[in-house]
């Protein structure tokens, strides 16, 4: 059984551990250097300083964080205020199915409660698992940036997915 709740400062070490795995071992994020705990704390404080942005964590039955999801600003220009970017990561050791789905259900409910108009996800390709998750919630691929990032001496494409937040949530 997975429990979803808002992240608290005490969660940041586990969140950082999950994220740093994706930096070191995958092209899913284009960060190259692992995040320090100070960077993660600053990120968290900046993010939650706006009530429209939140971080949710998924906990396994032992209380360990097995995933996290958050929404943040979609670009920095004021005209994008009703759009948001979503991100979800699950722990590499997580064996509980549906963790990402539960996180996104909670996150998308939050978006509706805060009147977002559009949600966007940027997905490094190939990533069929993430694409499937997003498509389950009604995201549609609206663009692809070809060879936009370089990681592990390889060029990677990024898909841009969009969701109309005023539509029903899957």
Which helix (H) or strand (E) segment is 136 a member of?
helix 128-136
Q: Residue 22: what pLDDT?
A: 96
Enumerate residue ranges in the chain where pLDDT < 70.
167-170
Residue 167 lies in a domain: no
Q: Pairing mode, if any, of strands 118-124 and 154-164?
A: antiparallel
Q: Residue 168: what pLDDT?
A: 47
Number of domains observed in the structure of the chain: 1
Residue 166 lies in a domain: no
Residue 155 lies in a domain: no
pLDDT tens by residue, 87-128: 999 999 887 889 999 999 999 999 999 999 999 999 999 999
Q: Which domain holds residue 31?
A: 3-117
Half-sphere exposure of 95 (CA within 13 A, CB side): 1
Residue 79 lies in a domain: yes
CATH number for the domain that contains residue 101:
3.40.630.30
b/e map of 111-145 (b: 16 or more CB within 10 Å)?
Answer: beebebebbbbbbbbebeebbebbeebbbeeeeee
Q: Residue 38: what pLDDT?
A: 98
Residue 62 lies in a domain: yes
The neighbouring-strand residues paired with 65 are 59
């Amino acid at each position: 059984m997975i429990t979803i709740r808002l992240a608290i400062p005490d969660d940041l070490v586990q969140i950082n551990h999950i994220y740093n795995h994706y930096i070191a071992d995958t092209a899913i994020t284009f960060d190259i250097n692992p995040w320090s705990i100070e960077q993660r704390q600053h990120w968290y404080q900046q993010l939650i300083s706006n009530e429209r942005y939140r971080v949710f964590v998924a906990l396994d039955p032992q209380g360990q964080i097995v995933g996290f999801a958050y929404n943040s600003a979609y670009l920095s220009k004021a005209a994008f205020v009703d759009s948001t970017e979503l991100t979800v990561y699950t722990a590499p050791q997580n064996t509980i199915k549906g963790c990402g789905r539960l996180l996104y259900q909670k996150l998308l409910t939050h978006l509706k409660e805060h009147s977002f108009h559009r949600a966007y996800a940027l997905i490094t390709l190939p990533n069929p698992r993430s694409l499937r998750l997003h498509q389950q919630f009604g995201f549609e691929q609206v663009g692809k940036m070809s060879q936009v990032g370089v990681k592990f001496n390889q060029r990677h494409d990024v898909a841009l997915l969009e969701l109309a937040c005023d539509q029903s949530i899957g």
